[in-house]
Structure 1
């Protein structure tokens, strides 16, 4: 069995540091220099050109983390829907500039939703329609560009909520992302299922995974092995689904990349 190849989520400044490692197996790269309002509302062309230069000759898959600060794609306010739609367009502009085939966006589901969506008649359908009103144009544009938007779990407790939302769009340009640390926090703190259940639930719709560790109390983004995620179970679940998602280390301290790789390699989980 061929072990999955691991990549990383990096800012431009870190691409140079890990360039040789990224190129040795043409690892997946997630560019994380383009998600803030300050960057998107400025002239980011030089930043994009720098990323392209640093990745020149790289044959792996490239994605970006899209905008997410300060809003939800499930907003019901038409004015905010227009603002979020603009942010999505800005992110897709970046994808075009850097040759990215994937953009990470954030799930709208909160812990409050988990306990209340079935308490309010029609609330689940309204959430889906709010999301469609907010990012529907971006999904259509992504289809035309050959880009896939991947929806990452944030506060999600029931992983099926996100799956049903993605299925509601019925588009090749909207798929599922899993953040292992977010899922483990939800499991330990809010009673969600364990991380491998998130993988099994996503199944063939899983196109992206953020790999990070924690103890289940907070969103630590620790080096793999420092927390309490059951990584053997996670990678067994990944091997059992019919999907080849981008698998990227998303660590707060990027110097933990070599230690994370040693942890996975020593256990025969990934390369």
Structure 2
């Protein structure tokens, strides 16, 4: 196995991006997050031919594979049991895709909102009830994930408290539920809502951190710019990552997938990753 002196970057790509960056991906057998299967239109259609195309595009790839799970139009903590059933079905569909493309990790969006930060403790038992609703939503998907050796990683979206999502993941008492960080989301929360800086999110996650979306922002919006285009303090982020017992998957998730090599080159020039 090839050793690396610095953390190895991977990327979040669609099938089109795979075609563009296949050589870059295979050169060092980088980790991959597949992003073609997030919408209801794809999941409710005949997605197997698309999965077959992805597998063919990945011929020769020996890096780890993950999938961005479905997320459009729902949250995993709905009060409505009928909606929770739909969300569970969507996540089960995502896990079917994981089996089809050889993915052993699936990104699931956090339920925590900015409103939650200010109000969960303003109502009796609201926090515990939210956690219970998430457990109900994930009951079947988690059982499926455990059976197939896939890990669900909870990604911060509006999360202002870096510890809340970590506690939610731990509440399942399962190795199949862990933590993801999106650096741009964390930076948005820091600049626009008063959350801690990105490296604090890494420290809060600790050993539960298994996946990181690497993207830059100025902190006003969810830009998904390449590293260097925004104002994230990357040296602090990578110092926090280096202190973890195990390096999580580092996935460049850029709005313009053509900029993946340039984003990687920026972090490499800083001596932070390769």
Tell me, yes or no, whether TM beats 0.5: yes
| Partner residue in 1 for 2:196 | 193
- Asked whether 1:100 is paired with 2:90, we answer no
Shift of 1:140: 1.4
Aligned to 2:171, the other structure's residue is in SS state: helix
Alignment check: 8 A CA contact 2:17 2:258 kept = no
Q: Distance in 2 between matches of 1:231 and 1:178?
A: 14
Alignment TM-score, normalising by the size of structure 1: 0.99
Q: Does 1:153 align with 2:156?
A: yes
Output the CA distance in 1 between the equivalents of 2:65 and 2:247: 14
Q: What's the counterpart of residue 182 of structure 2?
A: 179
Runs of at least 5 residues in structure 2 that lack an aligned partner in the other structure: none
Q: What is the aligned partner in structure 1 of residue 172 from structure 2?
A: 169
Shift of 1:259: 1.6
Residues 74-121 of structure 1 deviation map (CA, whole Å, 9 limit, x = unaligned): 111100010001001100000000000000000000000000001001
**Is residue 212 of structure 1 aligned with residue 221 of structure 2?**
no
1:136 positional shift: 1.5
Computed over aligned residues only, the root mean square deviation of the Cα atoms, in angstroms, reads: 0.8
Structure 1 partner of 2:124: 121
* Number of residues of Structure 1 aligned to a counterpart in Structure 2: 271
Q: Residue 138 of structure 2 aligns with which residue? A: 135
Distance 2:142 2:194 in 1: 32
- Equivalent residue number for residue 262 of structure 2: 259
Tell me the CA shift for residue 177 of structure 1: 0.4
Calculate the TM-score normalised by the size of structure 2.
0.98
Report deviation, 1:243. 2.1
Corresponding position of 1:27? 30
Aligned to 1:17: 20
Correspondent of 1:41 among 38, 41, 44 = 44
The alpha carbon displacement at 1:244 in A equals 2.3
- Counterpart selection for 2:5 from 2, 9, 15: 2
- What SS does structure 2 have at the residue aligned with 1:18? helix
1:37-88 deviation per Cα after TM superposition (whole angstroms, max 9, x unaligned): 0000001001000000011111100001000000000111100010001001
TM superposition shift of 1:261: 1.4
Q: State the match for 1:223 in structure 2.
A: 226
Does the 8 Å CA contact 1:203/1:243 hold for their aligned counterparts? no
Q: 1:269 aligns with which of 249, 269, 272?
A: 272
